[in-house]
Amino acid sequence: MNTMLRKTVHAFAGFAFAGGALLGPTTAALASPAHEAPATAAPATVAVAQVKTDKPAPKPGMDKLSPHGVQGQQSSVKLNDEQTKNAKAIIEATKKSGMDERAAVVAIATSLQESKLDNLGHLGDMNDHDSLGLFQQRPSSGWGSAEQITNPEYSTKAFLSGLKNVEGWKDMPLTDAAQAVQVSAYPDHYAQWETQAANLVADHWNS
């Protein structure tokens, strides 16, 4: 009986060992992590600096600003911030009126003669009749109200409207074009401001 038991135990043990050998690799394979392909590195991002290539527009040339040259001895005044602001306002109003750099030169030269680019109110006993503003326009002559003609944009557009109605103004010397609008007692005095007016337009037309 003991002999038979030992044979049975040995036989069962052998079967279990054989089964373990058969099942072992499969179980091990299931337990082991699957082989993974190496991760592909993300492509490097190269930062490209944006280089600004826009260049400021060139200044208008003297062929546009003073196509007929300047006449006579030239004058100039040192401008403060307010006067420079008024010159820029004349240039901007000229653009809004659809007129060119030469018109702006005529307008600024006219204002330099009339008010030295100061937006003048009524000067009391020193006032020339009821003349006001950058161009010394008169309400009594139909240029507009006192409030209107002391507005730089309005007064410039009013001057330019008159200039447009001067036939051939582009072919005239500056002082003749200005005088045709202003009808001044000193018709030749506008000429002396052409160089400074042209320089102001050159500096600020594209700024």
pLDDT of residue 31: 45
Structure tokens at 55: 């260049």
Query: Exposure string (b/e) for 22-42, b if CB count within 10 Å is 16 or more?
Result: eeeeeeeeeeeeeeeeeeeee
pTM over 0.95: no
**Residue 199: enclosing H or E segment and its boundaries?**
helix 194-204
CB-based contacts of 189: which residues, under 8 Å, 6+ apart? 113, 175
Nearest to 86 by CA among 144, 123, 133: 133
Annotate 136-178 with DSSP letters as a single string. TB-GGGTS--HHHHTSHHHHHHHHHHHHHTSTTGGGS-HHHHH
Task: Among 34-48, 98-112, 124-138, name the most confident range.
Answer: 98-112
pLDDT, average across residues 119-129: 73
d(CA 75, CA 194) in angstroms, rounded, equals 9
Residue spans per domain, the chain? 62-67+77-204
Whether residue 30 has pLDDT greater than 90: no
Give the single-character DSSP code of 124.
G
Tens digits of per-residue pLDDT, 89-116? 999 999 999 999 999 999 999 999 999 9
C-alpha dihedral over 105, 107, 109, 112, to 10 degrees?
-140
Asked if pLDDT for residue 21 goes beyond 50, the answer is: no
